[in-house]
Chains A and B, each alone.
Chain A
Amino acid sequence: MFWKRQIPLAIAFLAGLIFAIQYFVPHRVSQTIFDWYTDWGIVIGAFGAILGFYSISRLHITKITKRREGWLYSVATLVCILAMVIGAIVGGTEKGTFFAQMYSYVFVSISATMFSLLGFYIASAAYRAFRARTALATGLLLAAILVMLGRVPLGQTISFWTKWNPNLPSLVDIANWIMDVPNMAAKRAIALGVALGMMLVSLKIILGIERTYLGGGD
């Protein structure tokens, strides 16, 4: 228990305390400790990636060996991993190589297209669910519509009333105001809440109250 739990918690406490204090101490020794940390931390991080590669490879290998549903797709995943690694070893990673082309034309294309699907879903979902059911929902709906119109070039063009009286705000002006005032105030309240929460979590880690990062067991 002592070696498995108390020592790691003591390390976290000492490391947290030293680096929190270090911020306020502009001494050479303090700076050297900070330099070491930035250098060493990156070396440690390099090893951490091994865990990620192992987990994903094991997941797909298990799926194939146990012939689970969709195992053929896992073959495609593993073939692609191998193709990229072998491609880089044999042909290098420079522009025009197999490795670089796979990145530019396969990885980039599929990733960007996957996210773009949401553009279609959001349209259908808005049509079905975005209702002015209550006063608050109407406020949300109006803000959304005004921002959607005011943030595209069409917003300026269709603000016909500004031709009658240039002092009247265009849709662009209204969208700018929404972003700068009520949106900003709301997001600041959220950000302050999150930051206060983060501060407390950091303190709990340093003081050993928050220990879930150690994982289960003794």
Chain B
Amino acid sequence: MKFIEKLMSIDRRIIYILIALAIIIPFFVPMGLPIPITKEVESIYNYIEDLGPNDAIIISNDYDPQTKPELYPMVKAIIRHAFDREVKVIVMTLIVTGVGLAEEAVKEVADEYGMVNGKDYCFLGYRPGWGLLILGMGVDIHTQFPTDYYGTPIKDIPVMADIHNFDDIDLVLSFSGSSIVVSWLTMAKERFGQNIAWGVTGVMAPDYYIYLQSGQIVGMLGGLKGAAEYETLINKPDTATAGMDAQSWAHVIIIVFILIGNIGFFITGKKNLKPNI
């Protein structure tokens, strides 16, 4: 009984240390478990796979640094795939604190592929008022973004020459840790018929299966796992894939603790633990 009681009152700091170890150790002892692909991720991959040099996609980095570890790998994987297919990539953000991350992601991948700003892709930067901005882009992107992030007039950017509004865009991909993605759906999809796909944090993903089932979105990447799936599909493993072993083991640790708590709960006559988290 004493053992059970001890098991029921493990110090929170021991749990923290075990979680930290479960995250750190797999990086040194990787198992390289195969990553199963979900249909919501595969459908985005298939969509972009069908695009070519005459097509264009918008990648809207609508997230701030808090959610970088989950969303940044997704953005990089999608840009890599688009560059592989030689699709024109237009990068923007609806969140002011996301400007730096958006620029970093597109520059990093563009340097990797030798893509040129203005010719193969462009970075439009940020404009305020996301709902209005999306609606305005449906009418004329050039009015909403008179210049790109670097101040170059949009009419002087070759990659934007034939792109005026959503009629010229094949797919908009929004990456966000908030409900901004739904604004894209409400404003761009419902008003202008623009095809939408999105990448969201794990916290948000379960809420958005309703839009997958209704066919309103092309697909969805959910959390680091979604990013890892995309990296697997394009065969370019990066940080998300590297983090999957750690993710597996940390989940196991949490499940073990939930089980310990419940076993103790039933053996000790259903007493509660002190709320010391």
What residues of chain A have their CB less than 8 Å away from a CB belonging to chain B? 23, 31, 34-35, 37-39, 41-42, 45-46, 49, 95, 100, 103-104, 107-108, 111-112, 114-116, 119-133, 141, 145, 148-149, 151-157, 172, 176, 179-180, 183-184, 187-188, 190-191
Q: Specify which chain B residues have a CB less than 8 angstroms from the CB of A108 in the assembled complex.
A: 65, 68, 100-101
Shortest distance from the beta carbon of A127 to any chain B beta carbon, whole Å? 4
Shortest distance from the beta carbon of A202 to any chain B beta carbon, whole Å? 12
- Complex Cα distance, B33 from A25, in Å, reads 55
Contact A45 B139 (CB under 8 A): no
Give B91-127 as 1s and 0s: 1 = Cβ < 8 Å from A's Cβ atoms.
0000001001101100100000000000000000001
Q: Specify which chain B residues have a CB less than 8 angstroms from the CB of A148 in the assembled complex.
A: 251, 254-255
Q: Specify which chain B residues have a CB less than 8 angstroms from the CB of A127 in the assembled complex.
A: 10, 15, 254, 257-258, 260-261, 273
A-B pairs under 8 A by CB, number: 162
- Complex Cα distance, B30 from A67, in Å, reads 52
Contact B100 A103 (CB under 8 A): yes
Contact B261 A130 (CB under 8 A): yes
- Complex Cα distance, B138 from A37, in Å, reads 13
B50 close to chain A: CB less than 8 A: no
Binding site of B, secondary structure by majority: helix, strand, loop or mixed? helix
Contact B262 A131 (CB under 8 A): yes
- Complex Cα distance, B253 from A185, in Å, reads 30
- For window 4-21 of B, CB contacts with A under 8 Å fall at 10, 12, 15-16, 19-20
Contact B276 A39 (CB under 8 A): no
Contact B255 A191 (CB under 8 A): no
Q: Specify which chain A residues have a CB less than 8 angstroms from the CB of B261 in the assembled complex.
A: 126-128, 130-131
What residues of chain B have their CB less than 8 Å away from a CB belonging to chain A? 10, 12, 15-16, 19-20, 33-36, 38, 64-69, 97, 100-101, 103-104, 107, 127-129, 132-133, 135-136, 139-140, 143-144, 191, 206-207, 209-210, 212-213, 225, 244-245, 247-255, 257-258, 260-262, 265, 270, 273-277
Contact B129 A42 (CB under 8 A): yes
Shortest distance from the beta carbon of B22 to any chain A beta carbon, whole Å? 9
Shortest distance from the beta carbon of B184 to any chain A beta carbon, whole Å? 15
- Complex Cα distance, B206 from A180, in Å, reads 9
Contact B19 A38 (CB under 8 A): no
Shortest distance from the beta carbon of B259 to any chain A beta carbon, whole Å? 9
Contact B210 A129 (CB under 8 A): no
Contact of A34 with B135 at beta-carbon distance under 8 Å, contacts A127-B10, A183-B206 already known: yes
Residue of A nearest to B270 (CB): A133
Interface centre among B251, B255, B276 (most CB of A within 10 A): B251
- Complex Cα distance, B274 from A131, in Å, reads 13
Point out the residue from A34, A35, A42, A126 that lies within 8 Å of B133, measured CB to CB: A42
Contact B100 A46 (CB under 8 A): no
Contact of A152 with B247 at beta-carbon distance under 8 Å, contacts A103-B100, A141-B258 already known: yes
Point out the residue from B103, B128, B210, B248 that lies within 8 Å of A153, measured CB to CB: B248
Point out the residue from A31, A103, A133, A153 that lies within 8 Å of B36, measured CB to CB: A153
Interface centre among A23, A103, A115, A153 (most CB of B within 10 A): A153
Q: Specify which chain B residues have a CB less than 8 angstroms from the CB of A112 in the assembled complex.
A: 65-69
- Complex Cα distance, B10 from A112, in Å, reads 28
Point out the residue from B33, B136, B206, B260 that lies within 8 Å of A154, measured CB to CB: B33
10 shortest A-B CB distances, which residue pairs? A38-B136, A153-B33, A154-B248, A127-B257, A108-B65, A111-B65, A45-B129, A41-B132, A128-B273, A152-B248
Contact B206 A49 (CB under 8 A): no
Q: Specify which chain B residues have a CB less than 8 angstroms from the CB of A172 in the assembled complex.
A: 36
Contact B35 A124 (CB under 8 A): no
Q: Specify which chain B residues have a CB less than 8 angstroms from the CB of A145 in the assembled complex.
A: 255, 258
Q: Specify which chain A residues have a CB less than 8 angstroms from the CB of B100 in the assembled complex.
A: 100, 103-104, 107-108
Contact A49 B128 (CB under 8 A): yes
Contact A38 B254 (CB under 8 A): no
